[in-house]
């Protein structure tokens, strides 16, 4: 028997909440904070999806920006040049295009996942990096999407509703996946590939699956980015963007979804929060402080903010502690 309350009611309720927020937020915050919120959402999707590969499956991918670029460009191209999906509204059209962007990114992920059958560790990392760069350079050379000039005038169809909805879909999918049989298989690949293989787990298949799902969501994030900023340029999706996402995952804790979410928000907001400092000193110290924070955090808290724990675990642990104190 399907748990009706959990599997239908909760998502529908969340959709209503998002629709409400979509109505309220533009009237509450100024455009600057609104942009920050949407960027946080994009980064959350990127970080949580990369966590599936880097944190849960134990592979090391540093090419996430490439998949994001693939999704962003395809969805933007469809929105600008393609007829509407049979009579759908702008919002739904965006939804379908986003899925199309996700699928092309997923296909690219499949192409990267295949060599990962043979490569391990740093070699795999450098191949993903290479694929990311190749996608960027190819986009730079396609004139239909603007080449180095970038792509202008993409309709701004992404709003809070879609951003929140996709964050929700991404988190729920990955969380459910991790706690399923498949998820255990991902974890077993991370813990010990040889042992996993010897108990009959098709490690290759799971690694490729992780790559495909992860890049699908990267493509989705790219699509939201494209339809929010309404301008795309290949240089946005450089190696640095991939590194940013890796930093979020490691900072939050490899294998912790809550950690990734928190770290994504911190990393989006930190450079902006340091902006007043720049105005006082007239020198742009923000990125210097950002990188110093990164180094200090790695030296002081090597497990990341959450380690492998989730927010619920931390909460449980805290409440147990306080209960224990009360009882004796």
Alpha carbons 17 and 256: distance in angstroms, whole number:
25
Stretch that binds another protein, among 5-13, 40-48, 154-162, 283-291 (CB under 8 A): 283-291
DSSP conformation letters of 204-216:
HHHHHHHHHHHHH
Binder among 11, 115, 155, 307 for another protein (CB under 8 A): 115
Binder among 16, 123, 152, 179 for another protein (CB under 8 A): 123
In the complex with another protein, the residue whose CB is nearer, 88 or 303, is: 303
* Pair 44, 164: CB distance under 8 Å: no
Minimum separation from the CB atom of position 151 to another protein (A): 17
Applying CB under 8 A, does 292 fall inside the site for another protein? yes
Q: First CA to last CA across the chain, in angstroms?
A: 42
Binder among 10, 110, 231, 290 for another protein (CB under 8 A): 290
Alpha carbons 178 and 51: distance in angstroms, whole number:
11
Stretch that binds another protein, among 30-38, 94-102, 155-163, 244-252 (CB under 8 A): 244-252
Applying CB under 8 A, does 232 fall inside the site for another protein? no
How far CA 319 is from CA of 143, 149, 322, 328, in Å, comes to: 58, 55, 5, 14
112 exposure class (CB count in 10 Å sphere: 0-12, 13-18, 19+): buried
Site for another protein in 252-281 (CB under 8 A): 254
Residues 6+ apart with CB under 8 A from 188: 195, 196, 199, 201
Q: Using CB under 8 A as the criterion, which residues of the chain lie in contact with another protein when the complex forms?
A: 60, 115, 118-120, 122-123, 125-127, 129-131, 133-134, 137-138, 140-141, 194-195, 239, 243, 246-247, 250, 254, 283-285, 287-288, 290-292, 294-295, 298-299, 302
């Amino acid at each position: 028997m399907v748990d009706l309350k959990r599997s239908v009611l909760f998502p529908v309720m969340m959709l209503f909440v998002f629709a409400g927020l979509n109505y309220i937020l533009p009237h509450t915050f100024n455009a600057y904070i609104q942009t920050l919120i949407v960027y946080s959402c994009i980064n959350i999707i990127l970080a949580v999806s990369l966590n599936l590969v880097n944190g849960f499956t134990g592979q090391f991918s540093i090419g996430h920006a490439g998949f994001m670029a693939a999704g962003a460009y395809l969805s933007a191209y469809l929105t600008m040049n393609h007829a509407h999906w049979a009579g759908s509204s702008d919002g739904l059209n965006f939804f379908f295009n986003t899925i199309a962007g996700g699928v092309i990114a997923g296909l690219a992920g499949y192409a990267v996942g295949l060599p990962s059958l043979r490569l391990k560790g740093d070699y795999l990392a450098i191949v993903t990096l290479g694929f990311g760069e190749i996608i960027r350079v190819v986009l730079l050379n396609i004139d239909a999407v603007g080449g180095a000039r970038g792509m202008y005038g993409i309709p701004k169809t992404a709003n809070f509703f879609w951003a929140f909805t996709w964050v929700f879909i991404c988190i729920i999918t990955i969380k459910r996946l991790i706690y399923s049989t498949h998820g255990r298989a991902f974890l077993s690949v991370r813990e010990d590939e040889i042992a996993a293989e010897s108990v009959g787990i098709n490690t290759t298949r799971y690694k490729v699956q992780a790559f495909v799902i992860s890049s699908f969501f990267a493509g989705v994030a790219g699509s939201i980015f494209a339809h929010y900023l309404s301008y795309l340029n290949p240089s946005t999706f450089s190696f640095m963007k991939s590194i940013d996402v890796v930093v979020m995952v490691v900072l939050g804790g490899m294998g912790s979804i809550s950690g990734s979410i928190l770290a994504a928000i911190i990393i989006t907001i930190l450079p902006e929060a340091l902006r007043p400092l720049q105005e006082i000193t007239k020198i742009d110290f923000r990125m210097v402080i950002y990188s110093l924070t990164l180094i200090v955090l790695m030296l002081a808290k090597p497990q990341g903010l959450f380690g492998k724990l989730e927010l619920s675990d931390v909460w449980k642990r805290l409440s147990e502690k306080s209960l224990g104190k009360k009882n004796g």
